[in-house]
Amino acid sequence: MTVYKVPQQELQFILEHLVNYSDLCAMPGFEDAGEDMVAAILPEAARFFEQVVAPTNWPSNTQPAYLEGDRVITSPALDGVYQQMVEAGWCSLSGSTQYGGAGFPAIIDAAVQEMLQSANVGFSLLPTLTRGVIHALNLYGSEEQKDRYLHKLISGVWSGTMDLTESQAGSDLSVVKTKAVPQGDHYLISGQKIYISWGEHQQAENIIHLVLARLPNAPEGNEGISLFLVPKYLIDDDGTLAQRNDVKAVGVEHKLGIHSSPTCTLAFGDNGGAVGYLVGPKNKGLMCMFSMMNHARLAVGHQGVSVGERAYQQAVEYANQRIQGAVHGVEGRAAIIHHADVKRMLAQMRALTEAGRAMSLYTIATQDRATHHQDKQIREVSAERVEIMTPLVKGWCTEMAMETTSLGVQVHGGMGFIEETGAAQHMRDARILPIYEGTNGIQALDFVGRKCLRDKGSGLQQVITEMTQTADSLADHSDMVKSLTVPLISTIDQCQSAIEYILQNNHKASFAAYQFMMLLGNSIAYWQLLILACAAQREIEAGHKDNFLSQKVATAQFYQSQILPRNHAHLEAIISDSKFVDDLSFEGA
């Protein structure tokens, strides 16, 4: 198994040259999260996740969680690890100081969460889902609910879950059947939920479930769903835990990957009804839950980056060690890292991972501006940008994670198909990412529909304008910078053509949605990668000689020559005649 090393220099370079962290930490509420503080925190986090969490990845994969009665027993490799993470404060970095959090910008929390996700992606779901509950309660919880639950959730002493899916209600939540019956100052919840990540475990003292359910006589469909807070243990007035609530695990899924995460089937109300409390307005549960889901979608996109990083590091280490064949210029038998096609695969893994990281962290920094910037107009523009970018981060980054982890297996050759090398685990773990929190088909439909057609492309046009401004600002720089900028101009034209075509042929939008998402994702990711490469090139030209800097430029060159040409195919697929779609039939397949 490869030893995971946090890409600290890469993270610091993004903070300095892409998201302008010096301005970000000057916004109200972030004054105590300055650059010096971050420079001290990130290495400490890196040591923790490299030394404490990363070694659990393989054993927790081979010894997954299981059900014993109504208790879920998690992998012994994780025993005590979550408690160490809570005690070290890594769960509470971005939490509000009002409720005991450290008050750091979300982008710093995202950098630390990447470390956790690369170290053990299944385990990372535990605090990730808790953050979603915190986000939803901050937006829609009553003051009493915030006071009662946020301190323990932000610290990580309690964990949280999203309870949406039922056997008959996957992506279509309009057919949710779980019931909520009024009972004094609370509700009695009954029904069953499936695919609940970390739905039952012993790692945290309490589990706070956010559950979608229907009130009596609620309207049919999406308009009749409400959101309820259902704790595993009820809580006395003084904040201490009381009796067990009427919710239990009745199954643990046997999954393709993320074995360290117990994915549970939960039964509510087998003994009369689980006590629950309404969160937000009645019959507006989907609105409340989507705030949590969009938060989770950004996290899932970055999980794609994180798994890609772990697979890439393992592939590089193996390629350096594996001796196979002869290569011109290398004496004797050569390590496979000297073979041209292996170099191509490793470069592709690195380019896709670094581009995804740049796009993801750019979006999360924009989210920080949307919530904390002094200027109302900047907050509003930033919020709109985050809305546009969320399906791209979730969709594009997770598609690239599948490609990257598959290449990682390929670099290992036959050994990649052997479980003990660990390469296959990354591919299996990554496979869930394009599926959960809304499949990538749903992300594509959201992107083309709500993020393009609904506003007639005005939001995307603002992105195109900024990309054009970047190209214009680099026009008078060195030949190297210009060589990276010219392809951006062509890419902008392709994006413009795709947007115009979709707006003129909106009846074809659903069929073209995936190609549209991938074209814009490829393009915006290159834009972010270009900004970083040009910053590196400027430092090189200023006399700084560093392999990291030269590799930033080389990676952007690879992306430009080997990834961007895909855009031509995506655009051709978008504008192609799709009349044949109505003739397709899959009966009897």
Annotation says 200 is catalytic: no
220/286 Cα distance (integer angstroms): 13
Q: In this structure, what token pair is assigned to residue 265?
A: 């089937």
What letter represents residue 486's amino acid? V
Q: Output the CA torsion sign for 410, 411, 413, 416.
A: negative
60/490 Cα distance (integer angstroms): 46
157/86 Cα distance (integer angstroms): 7
Q: Tokens 């900004």 belong to which residue? A: 531
Our CA angle for 257, 413, 561, nearest 5°, is 90
Q: Report yes or no: 509 and 567 within 8 Å, Cβ to Cβ.
A: no
Q: Tokens 């080389």 belong to which residue? A: 554
In 3D space, the residue among 62, 56, 78 whose CA is nearest the CA of residue 425 turns out to be 62
235/237 Cα distance (integer angstroms): 7
Q: Report yes or no: 216 and 227 within 8 Å, Cβ to Cβ.
A: no
CA distances from 57 to 1, 65, 228, 386, 412 (A): 10, 13, 34, 32, 19
DSSP secondary structure letters along 125-171: HHHHHHHHHHHHHHHH--HHHHHHHHHHHHHTSEEEEEE--BTTBSS
CA distances from 342 to 62, 318, 331, 547 (A): 29, 11, 18, 20
474/458 Cα distance (integer angstroms): 25
208/198 Cα distance (integer angstroms): 11
Give rounded-to-5 percent helix, strand, coil for the chain: 60, 15, 25
Q: Of these residues, 44, 114, 437, 466, which one is catalytic?
A: 437
Question: Which ranges constitute the DSSP H helices of 49-93?
Answer: 57-62, 81-88
Q: Report yes or no: 424 and 60 within 8 Å, Cβ to Cβ.
A: no
Helix, strand, or coil here: 191? strand
Residues forming the active site? 437
